[in-house]
Amino acid sequence: MKIEQIYTGCLAQGAYYIVSNGEAAIIDPLRETKPYLERLKKDQVSLKYIFETHFHADFVSGHLDLSKATGAPVVYGPTAQPAFDALIAADNQTFKIGNITITALHTPGHTLESTCYLLKDENGIDVALFSGDTLFLGDVGRPDLAQKAADLTMEDLAGMLYESLQAKIMPLADDVTVYPAHGAGSACGKNMQKETVDTLGNQKKTNYALNQADKESFVKAVTEGLLPPPGYFGMNVAMNKLGYENFETVLNKAKTPLDPDAFEAAVENTGALVLDTRNSGVFSKGFIPNSINIGIKGDFAPWVGAMIVDVQQPLLLVTDEGMEEEVITRLSRVGFDQVAGYLQGGFEAWQNSGKETDTVDRIDAATFAARFEEGNTVIDVRKEGEYEASHVHEAYLRPLAAINEWAADLPQEHFFLHCAGGYRSMIAASILQARGIRNFTEVDGGFNAIKNTTVPVSDFICQSKVL
């Protein structure tokens, strides 16, 4: 028997590849199926089942393409109602893969169809729990994503989650290995640990949600402090439930090279948004006017989803040369399939054609420190927890995820803009400039660099400084 976690850091997502005696199962696969098909061929095994823990909100699963390529059925837990043929498991139904078995444990709470899969070895001993978004390391799945569709409150779903955990998960042996669907950085939870694998026994000791005195305290603990979910989540759920276009079709359509003239015409004729995925430092020195910068070398896909929201938005890409397919693939993972092409030759070709360019006023932390004076307006686009830990004295907290709420209320005078390192603040800078707001200077290196200068920092929070 072999269990392999295939972890995708930029999505904080774990898929699982399980092999036993010539047969395989895959749990929660990513959109692109080629790596799985190559793995199956290399191992000379046949795929028997594709298990889905629930209808994912934060990414588009590869279940449909993988099933079509292999003939393996897609398995969901009880109450799931996909718009395509699938095997809907009964609670406690078992599936044999080689010499092992996998049992479906219906665990509603994160969503109504949420299901964990318990793996037993050839001797019938519980070995591993693939816990989906029901149980994370250090946390549990947020209960506020499915309540509208189910006509329930998040407190109702949190109560269901408590019952699921107590009845199905807590009675399992401490030495069972927990393999969650997500790790730290995912928007599907709020308090995940950095590790991606743990024992259930350690989670019983360290997971705050598993250490609540009763159902009432559990509901309160897991529902407080939840940030609004990214806007694209609902559209990803729909794609996973209703179906989507084949990935290879999406890739081939999107890999259309456009010279600068054709690229410019496409922007004008389609209303496409220009997404520039280059490094923030390179972007700041020159870009196509009104481009939005979200660097591929970062939490790219989640920030695309959070900033652009509408998966049907037509996109035109500016990438580092040779990175086109990688960018298209990562966009498809979160449902952004409407890529109309990319700038052939990259930004250099645009620049050499003599077309209009733009820049961002960016300075390093040392220059910021030299220019900083008490009373300067400083906008911090980090998350609230980061700001609370420490921030530039008297800085205003304006989280990037909420930019649509605060962009119209920025000061008329000049202000400084920063995040932790420069990735998020450049996203914000590009969005602001696309909206005609230019009275700011962005700080390269962000707070990580600023805190090592003479600029005063504080952990004191003034309510007027918080959005």
Both ends of the chain: CA-CA distance in Å?
52
- Examine residue 83 and state whether it is found in any structural domain, yes or no: yes
Q: How many domains does the chain have?
A: 3
Residue 16 banded pLDDT, cuts 50, 70, 90: very high
Residue 147 banded pLDDT, cuts 50, 70, 90: confident
Q: How far apart are CA 134 and CA 27, in angstroms?
A: 14
Asked if residue 34 and residue 105 are part of one domain, the reply reads yes
> To 10 degrees, the CA torsion angle through 95, 197, 167, 26?
-20
Q: How far apart are CA 249 and CA 188, in angstroms?
A: 29
**65-92 pLDDT per residue, tens:** 999 999 999 999 999 999 999 999 999 9
Residue 128 banded pLDDT, cuts 50, 70, 90: very high
Find out whether 195 and 235 touch, Cβ atoms under 8 Å: no
* Side chain identity at residue 397, one-letter code: L
Lowest mean pLDDT segment, chosen from 52-56, 302-306, 378-382: 302-306
Answer yes or no: is pLDDT of 17 > 90: yes
Asked if residue 128 and residue 198 are part of one domain, the reply reads yes
Q: Which of 306, 238, 189, 309 is CA-nearest to residue 57?
A: 238
Average pLDDT over residues 387-415: 94
**430-445 pLDDT per residue, tens:** 999 999 999 999 999 9
Q: How far apart are CA 273 and CA 367, in angstroms?
A: 33
User: What DSSP string runs through 13-78?
Assistant: EEEEEEEETTEEEEES--S--HHHHHHHHHHT-EEEEEE-SS--SSS--SHHHHHHHH-PPEEE-T
Asked if residue 76 and residue 51 are part of one domain, the reply reads yes
Asked if residue 228 and residue 260 are part of one domain, the reply reads no
pLDDT at 127: 98
Residue % of the chain over a pLDDT of 70: 99
Find out whether 233 and 58 touch, Cβ atoms under 8 Å: yes
b/e burial code for range 437-456 (CB count within 10 A of at least 16 → b)? eeebbbbbbbbebbeebebe
Answer yes or no: is pLDDT of 375 > 90: no
User: How high does pLDDT run on average in the chain?
Assistant: 95
Q: How far apart are CA 114 and CA 131, in angstroms?
A: 9
Asked if residue 382 and residue 458 are part of one domain, the reply reads yes
Asked if residue 381 and residue 345 are part of one domain, the reply reads no
Answer yes or no: is pLDDT of 162 > 70: yes
Q: Which residue range forms the structural domain that includes residue 268? A: 245-352
**41-57 pLDDT per residue, tens:** 999 999 999 999 999 99
pLDDT at 459: 82
Q: Give the C-alpha distances (Å, rounded to integers) separating 250 from 121, 256, 402, 452.
A: 39, 11, 30, 46
pLDDT at 336: 97
> Where residue 437 sits, what CATH number does that domain have?
3.40.250.10
Q: Give the C-alpha distances (Å, rounded to integers) separating 357 from 86, 229, 319, 349, 438.
A: 51, 34, 16, 12, 15
**319-335 pLDDT per residue, tens:** 999 999 999 999 999 99
**262-303 pLDDT per residue, tens:** 999 999 999 999 999 999 999 999 999 999 999 999 999 999
Q: How far apart are CA 407 and CA 419, in angstroms?
A: 16
pLDDT at 463: 62
Q: Which residues contact 245 (CB under 8 A, 6 or more apart)?
A: 337
**212-223 pLDDT per residue, tens:** 999 999 999 999
Q: How far apart are CA 461 and CA 203, in angstroms?
A: 33
Asked if residue 114 and residue 205 are part of one domain, the reply reads yes
Asked if residue 378 and residue 420 are part of one domain, the reply reads yes
pTM of this structure: 0.92
